[in-house]
A and B are shown apart, each in its own frame.
Chain A
């Protein structure tokens, strides 16, 4: 870790713990209460659960999912924006595509990027949009840890967790009405997309969804040849440093244990040298 205070790191770690294990509204709230979240804290934390649907997630058409995912991706690539070092974007894209190549959604184009933020976080949107922050990369030790974080986010996308979260929050009906109506003009759809992306700042994944995404991650990591214990190592490291703040969310030690149990005696690539060579961290 470079030039970052312990306090700031702890808060940032909390954001990641929430993003990968709990609700976004609590993440934003906690960072705000601690007063050290930075200008993008609520935005990034909010978008962690940013996945949307129109109507029933199971029957939602692909174009709607893709449009919403694209809109979210447009939003985060502008604020906080992408890192200027395109080598980082390229490396994360390569690792992400490698993991995505073994996931069940072989029909969508996964897109990856690195957000220019000190926070430790990862965000995903529907239809294959996955972003990790520069701050998160700085806490990682090797490529298997990066692959693990990306695999977790891919797991949410595969399971359409965000879509279900929106539906369960009661937005499905309203969105379904929009989808079932021929859109008369641009403003109607733009308003819908704007409301949707903003509303999703309070969406959350439930504990079972997080556990499920962890399980998916382990499957993809094994399939792609990465050591899934790297993912557990990363979560474990953050938990130790953050102090495990969130009683309302899956206790990180439990998640680590579950990940390790699912990983079993799996071996695989860790690629520390390649990680350091490509990231400089």
Chain B
């Protein structure tokens, strides 16, 4: 995807997680964030922004913000954004990130068996001897069914789903 880098890194580095500043840009601090075609997690993904990408905020909101990346306009969850980068030792964020010395809030694991899961989940899986890939497989299945149009076709065929 094309990306527009209109960052204000200095300002963002002082901000708490997921705050859209007056500059109307936010930086993706998590592993990645999906820009969806509508403000619902059921909507297909229009584009995916990666860690460090800057997104232009068109419409601030919570839980959904409308943003633009390059030529792509989409909706992202405010909670999925993070301006601080990740810290593997930060399992749970608090409402006030500064209370934890400004450690990351909401960061996803960036690698290993638990990639894409929250760090706490990945560590729990490792400690308990459970394979996180089994859940990840389900998560990937859900994404595929939404993004390849299977869900829309399924709903149309059965005349069910959101009107």
Contacts from A to B (Cβ < 8 Å): 54, 59, 61-64, 66-67, 70-71, 73-75, 77-79, 81-82, 86, 89-90, 93-94, 97-98, 100-102, 106-113, 143, 147, 178-180, 182-187, 189-190, 193-194, 197, 223-226, 268-269, 271, 274
Expressed in whole angstroms, the Cα–Cα distance for A107 and B41 within the complex equals 6
Residue pairs across A and B with Cβ atoms less than 8 A apart, 25 shown, are: A62-B79, A62-B106, A63-B105, A63-B118, A66-B118, A74-B131, A82-B138, A90-B141, A93-B141, A97-B145, A101-B42, A102-B162, A106-B39, A107-B40, A109-B41, A110-B41, A147-B160, A182-B101, A189-B92, A189-B124, A190-B120, A193-B121, A197-B124, A225-B161, A274-B158
- Indicate if the CB atoms of A183 and B142 lie closer than 8 Å: no
Contacts from B to A (Cβ < 8 Å): 39-42, 63-64, 77, 79, 88-95, 99-101, 103, 105-106, 117-118, 120-121, 123-125, 127-128, 130-132, 134-135, 138-139, 141-142, 145-146, 150-151, 154-155, 157-163
Q: Which of A62, A74, A108 contacts B134 (CB 8 A)?
A: A74
Please indicate the chain A residues that have their CB under 8 angstroms from the CB of B125 in the complex: 71, 74
Please indicate the chain A residues that have their CB under 8 angstroms from the CB of B95 in the complex: 59, 61
Known: A74-B135, A78-B131, A78-B134. 20 other contacts (CB 8 A): A62-B79, A63-B106, A67-B91, A67-B120, A71-B124, A74-B131, A74-B134, A77-B134, A77-B135, A82-B134, A86-B141, A93-B141, A93-B145, A106-B42, A107-B40, A147-B160, A182-B103, A189-B91, A194-B128, A225-B161
- Indicate if the CB atoms of B117 and A189 lie closer than 8 Å: no
Expressed in whole angstroms, the Cα–Cα distance for A77 and B150 within the complex equals 24
Please indicate the chain B residues that have their CB under 8 angstroms from the CB of A187 in the complex: 127
